[in-house]
Amino acid sequence: MITRYSRPDAVAIWSQETKYKIWFEIEAHAATKMAELGVIPTEAAEAIWAKGKDASFDADRIDEIERTTKHDVIAFLTHVSEIVGEEARFLHQGMTSSDVLDTCFAVQLARASDLLIGGVDRVLAALETRAKEHKFTPEVGRSHGIHAEPITFGLKLAGYHAEFQRAKRRLLTAKEEIATCAISGAVGTFANVDPAVEAYVAEKMGLQVEPVSTQVIPRDRHAAFFAALGVVASSIERLATEIRHLQRTEVLEAEEFFDKGQK
């Protein structure tokens, strides 16, 4: 996306650096619980955290390795072994790649949801303030774009406020739906990984546990999440289009704020 239209906090969530940091945290948390269960040495789990928690994972190096391995997670783990050393061989015990990929994606989507919910909160606050301010400000009512009975500008904004309240509820529900972890092995049967590992990773990453998974987290969760984003986006578009209409030269019932010196 064009940089000037990108939110730095959103860019950070979807950066390669953040993705690989989350991958490491998932693997390292899993190792910690496996050590507690006696599956791997405690010293190995401690060394993994000590050597890797503040590491900078080199995306170019991972890409270089992947050109040989043809596998993104193996390439990442190979790079981790270059940083951590021999203890890295205890990572990923009983896990499958989707355990890492899907859980990471869930973390990123949950964090992105928080940004969006915060943005909706700011829109709600602004709409509430302006709706109260213009409670008695008369405005031309329109039906199919044609002048009709008068309304107030405050009433119009109150309608948008109600819509964005619904938008917030949709985002909260969407976040709850998507914030799901799966650490259940190649086909989701926990054949080589204890369910306690999944529960521990979920807790540490701020997620819930997927009750029944296969190799992947069921995609209806993602469909519901992005459908909710589509509805919220339509609410944003409706408000933006109305503001644009109201500041047309021949209407000029509202104006967009301009900073000093802005063009």
Tell whether domain 1-93 is in CATH 3.40.190.170. no
3-state SS of 9-78 is HHHHHCCHHHHHHHHHHHHHHHHHHHHHCCCCCHHHHHHHHHHHCCCCCCHHHHHHHHHHHCCHHHHHHH
With a threshold of 0.75, does the pTM exceed it? yes
pLDDT at residue 213, as a whole number: 82
pLDDT at residue 259, as a whole number: 84
pLDDT at residue 95, as a whole number: 96
pLDDT at residue 18, as a whole number: 97
pLDDT at residue 260, as a whole number: 84
Considering only CA atoms, which of 45, 16, 41 is closest in space to residue 30?
A: 45
Tokens of 177: 């739906």
Go through 121-154 and write b for each residue having 16 or more CB atoms within 10 A of its CB, e for each that does not: eebbeebeebbeebeeeebeeeeeeeeeeeebbb
Residues of the chain with CATH 1.20.200.10: 94-263
pLDDT at residue 262, as a whole number: 82
Residues of the chain with CATH 1.10.275.10: 1-93
Beta strands at 208-209 and 138-143: parallel, antiparallel or unpaired: unpaired
pLDDT at residue 215, as a whole number: 86
Tokens of 171: 């985002």
Q: Mean pLDDT for each 10-residue chunk of the chain (263 residues)?
A: 87 96 98 98 97 95 97 98 96 96 98 98 98 96 94 97 98 97 94 96 97 91 97 97 93 86 80
CATH class of 94-263: mainly alpha
Compute the distance between CA of residue 73 and CA of residue 78 in angstroms, rounded to an integer.
8
Strand partners, 151: 139
